[in-house]
């Protein structure tokens, strides 16, 4: 089966060395300059609140009018997680270096071939945490600054249900998925230092904690033909489920059935079969240094 063959290529999380830290991409000066010129519509500024059971509530913010230097200071002082999307377009120098490093990592997994890649530069506060979630793609995390702890969990039905995957792929919910404290017994824990890159099994749920330091990482998402086909099948299943059907799990599909579901997803997306529920998430803060969590309440007129 296409999806099983593809996902078996990366059997477990692995750490590699990379040279990006020596190229000056993560200095305060370079980051402040980048923040000044980065397109506002490519910023995701998030803050997560957690309860005693590790369940998260997402708050989102806006870029605001702060200078790059002031924005960087707010991130350093607060509890923010800032994703700067489409690095491959906005920062070609960093992207070229990352692609060269990824080529060496990719070569370590016989049969692995990324057919599409995209990147986001992640700037995160010393106390920032990202909840249990999954990415509908392969991920290589190039760590550039600070110290980060990553928890990687098995990519099976017990830790990540197909129904949850469908909802994320179809943009009916954000990437956060149901989490139970007992999952910690099954986690592999990796501490990342600058100059290290982490790759984990495709679709494996994971969460992240910064270890009391401001952190900078480049997250490279990559698609294989296997993940593209499975994502299409998951989208089609989400549409079928929204119409009251009980679709067959993708893990039980033959290759022809997977291809058919993927082809169906192309038509369904063109017709807008499912409207995204995450496009218009309310925003309620902007980064400001010196205030609690680095997040100042946003005037409703700016939201």
Condensed to tens digits (0 to 9), the pLDDT of residues 81-127 reads 999 999 999 999 999 999 999 999 999 998 899 999 999 999 999 99
CA atoms of 84 and 34, how far apart (whole Å): 10
Condensed to tens digits (0 to 9), the pLDDT of residues 179-211 reads 999 999 999 999 999 999 999 999 999 999 999
Look up the pTM and report it. Answer: 0.93
How confident is the model over 164-184, as a mean pLDDT? 93
Condensed to tens digits (0 to 9), the pLDDT of residues 226-237 reads 999 999 999 999
Query: Within a 10 A sphere around the Cβ of 12, how many other Cβ atoms?
Result: 11
Neighbour-count burial of 214, counting CB atoms closer than 10 A to its CB (0-12 exposed, 13-18 middle, 19+ buried) = buried
Report whether pLDDT(279) > 80.
Answer: no
Contact 130, 80 (CB under 8 A): no
Alpha-carbon distances, residue 153 vs 12, 184, 203, 245 (angstroms): 10, 8, 10, 29
């Amino acid at each position: 089966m296409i999806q099983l063959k593809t996902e078996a290529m990366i059997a477990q999380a692995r750490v590699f060395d990379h040279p990006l830290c020596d190229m000056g991409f993560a200095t305060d000066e370079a980051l402040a300059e980048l923040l000044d010129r980065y397109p506002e519509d490519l910023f995701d500024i998030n803050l997560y609140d957690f309860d005693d059971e590790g369940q998260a509530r997402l708050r989102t913010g806006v870029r605001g009018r702060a200078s790059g230097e002031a924005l960087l200071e707010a991130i350093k002082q607060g509890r923010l997680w800032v994703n700067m999307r489409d690095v491959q377009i906005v920062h070609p120098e960093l992207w070229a270096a990352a692609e060269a490093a990824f080529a060496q990592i990719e070569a370590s997994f016989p049969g692995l071939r990324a057919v599409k890649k995209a990147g986001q530069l992640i700037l995160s506060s010393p106390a920032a945490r990202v909840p249990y979630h999954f990415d509908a793609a392969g991920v290589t995390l190039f760590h550039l600054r600070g110290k980060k702890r990553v928890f990687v969990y098995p990519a099976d039905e017990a830790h990540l249900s197909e129904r949850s995957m469908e909802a994320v792929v179809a943009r009916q919910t954000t990437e956060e998925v149901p989490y139970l404290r007992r999952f910690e017994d099954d986690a592999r824990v990796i501490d990342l230092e600058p100059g290290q890159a982490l790759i984990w099994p495709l679709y494996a749920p994971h969460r992240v904690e910064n270890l009391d330091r401001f952190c900078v990482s480049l997250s490279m998402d990559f698609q294989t033909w296997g993940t593209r086909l499975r994502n299409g099948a998951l989208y089609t299943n989400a549409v079928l489920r929204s119409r009251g059907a009980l679709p067959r799990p993708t893990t039980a599909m033959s290759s022809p059935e997977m291809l058919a579901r993927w082809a169906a997803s192309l038509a369904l997306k063109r017709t807008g079969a499912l409207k995204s529920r995450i496009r218009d998430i309310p925003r309620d803060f902007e980064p400001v240094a010196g205030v609690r969590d680095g997040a100042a309440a946003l005037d409703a007129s700016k939201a």
